[in-house]
Amino acid sequence: MKNKMWLWVLIVILVVAGLVYVAGKGKAPTEEIMQVEGVKMTVLQEGSGEAAKAGDKVSMNYTGRLVDGTVFDSNVDPKFNHVEPFTFNLGAGEVIKGWDTAIVGMKAGEKRTLEIEPAAAYGDQPVGPIPPNSTLIFDVELVSINN
């Protein structure tokens, strides 16, 4: 009698495990979160092709905002008057340290949200509408890599 009960328990466990497995198939992959040198990066959409590396010329779409949600710059919003991909040499110090750090490893088409601590952004210096010691949030998309 005990053996039959254990057999039924085992069957129920296997059926439930199978249902959980099948239910999980077809769902979007979970976001990947990484943290490096004062930057928290959340991968929203994977890209394809070669990964960006220092020395590459990269073109990006982006929207930058403060933690309170105030958008301070964007190249995808016409109200900022520069709606075209932003191009720079990765790792050459042409952008804030957080960008030079966070864009390495991205592939064309990849989208990430970057949360950049002040030390990897503008530190204690105010820059335009950005107050001193601001954590910056960027939604970025790597448009292309030219190496």
Catalytic residue among 62, 80, 86, 88: 62
Say yes or no to pLDDT of 57 above 70: yes
Catalytic residue among 100, 103, 116, 138: 138
Q: 138 catalytic, yes or no?
A: yes
Q: Is 72 a catalytic residue?
A: yes
pLDDT in tens, 80-114: 988 899 999 999 999 999 999 999 999 999 999 99
Catalytic-residue membership of 86 = no
End-to-end CA distance of the chain: 71
pLDDT greater at residue 28 or residue 123: 123
Catalytic residue among 103, 122, 137, 145: 122
pLDDT beyond 60 at 27: no
Phi, psi of 44 (to 5 degrees): -95, -35
Give the separation between CA 10 and CA 15, rounded to whole angstroms.
9
Q: Is residue 62 among the annotated active site residues?
A: yes
Instruction: Return the pLDDT at 35.
Output: 82
21 is catalytic: no
pLDDT given for residue 13 in this prediction? 66
Q: Residue holding tokens 């002040």? A: 118
Spell out the domains of the chain, with CATH numbers in brackets.
29-146 (3.10.50.40)
